[in-house]
Amino acid sequence: MTHNQIEIGCDRSGTPNANKSSSKTVTSRKLDCLFRLYARKYSKSTAWTLKVKTPEHSHDATERIMAPPAFRKFNEQEKSQISQISESLLLPREIQAQLCSQRESDRPVILQDIYNQVNKIKKDKLQGRRPIDALIDTLKQEILSFAWDSEGHITSLFFTHPLAIKLLFGFPHVILMDCTYKTNKYKMPLFHILRFVTGALMEEGVAWHSGIKNSLGGLQRI
């Protein structure tokens, strides 16, 4: 006789995976809780039978309703919404406020869950690539140049939109150049090439560089 069976366990069952290769301190909710139920329904019956294998939990009851991650899990619509909102470069707390205002249920929205989901979206977009490789692939449609050193470290990266070049040739009278510092962990200055026209500044090109020679190289590229 065939039957359907569902196993019901505690969300704190199982043992945490020990990642010896990581230097980070990782915490886990898993406590190897043995609580287990089995629900079974036979094909010729409409009733379910419940078998209790282990009735006790090996930990105290959760005091906060927001603690179990399964209770806070985002549905597919919310995941899509977070992906769209994050494209607008909103802060996680701003994304949290939007989700809280739109949720009809009393499920909490935890800021750390927003951070985790945004990081997952970024990781999925990388598709196994390094961030710098993903950036270069994204900018292939732009006017792009870059250079690496003998160890494979990027030493300069320059890009601009083709339309910006056309506009520059139409109004090439005043060009401003400046560097912004402390924009990345590699301590590479961000070099701006700006065009001044009709009382406004227009971005013509952007470059990360490791020295003044590379900055001039970006200008020569234009």
pLDDT in tens for each of the 222 residues of the chain? 446 888 888 878 887 776 655 566 666 777 788 889 998 888 777 888 888 888 888 888 776 666 677 778 888 999 999 999 988 888 999 999 988 888 777 778 889 899 999 999 999 999 999 888 888 888 876 767 777 888 877 788 888 888 887 877 777 777 888 888 887 777 788 888 888 777 777 888 888 877 655 555 555 655
Q: Could you give the residue ranges of the DSSP H alpha helices within the chain?
A: 69-72, 76-86, 92-102, 111-126, 131-138, 162-170, 212-221
Q: Which among 90, 147, 132 is positioned nearest to 114, based on CA atoms?
A: 90
Whole-number Å distance between alpha carbons of 159 and 135 = 11
Q: H or E segment at 148? A: strand 143-148
SS3 assignment, position 202: strand
* CA of residue 65 relative to chain centroid, distance: 26
**Which residues lie across from 50 on neighbouring strands?**
39
pTM for the whole structure: 0.61
Residue whose structure tokens are 């994304």: 95
Q: Which among 129, 36, 121, 39 is positioned nearest to 82, based on CA atoms?
A: 121
Residue whose structure tokens are 């005091």: 63
SS3 assignment, position 59: coil
Whole-number Å distance between alpha carbons of 48 and 37 = 12
* Number of residues that this document lists for the chain: 222
**Cα atoms in the Cβ-side hemisphere of radius 13 Å centred on 85:** 20
